[in-house]
Amino acid sequence: MKKVRITVKRIACYRDLIEEYENPIEHACDMKTGQVFIANGWQMPEGFCVSAWDTVSPFVMALAHGAEDFYDGWMKNKKSAMISCNDGFRPVSFLLETIEEKAD
């Protein structure tokens, strides 16, 4: 099984939606742009957001098992995917990339 690098590429924040609909919440998201996690198959990386993992894990698992070319040419790199978490107030975009093991 291959490892998958998960990189936080962008964090959005919709303050108007937060003010109108969300109850006050502390530490809703602790992700930082540029942060990198390494997933080893289905195992969630330490420090990764549980809610975000629910969204990205099917793609991580597919990439870990050799899947590529999601949605017929969607990504320039066939062994990657750009997936956002399901937080409608502050979505985080993650780049998922298969890590190629070097041959000995």
Cβ atoms of 33 and 9 within 8 Å: the answer is: yes
pLDDT at 101 (0 to 100): 74
Residue 39 one-letter amino acid: A
pLDDT at 93 (0 to 100): 98
Integer Cα distance of 57 and 88 in angstroms: 18
Query: How much is the pTM?
Result: 0.91
Burial 38-49 (b: 16+ CB within 10 A, else e): ebeeeebeeebb
Nearest to 11 by CA among 28, 1, 19: 28
pLDDT at 50 (0 to 100): 93
pLDDT by residue, tens only, the chain of 104 residues: 899 999 999 999 999 999 999 998 887 888 999 999 999 988 899 999 999 999 999 999 999 999 999 999 999 999 999 999 999 999 999 999 999 776 55
pLDDT at 103 (0 to 100): 56
pLDDT at 102 (0 to 100): 67
pLDDT at 72 (0 to 100): 92
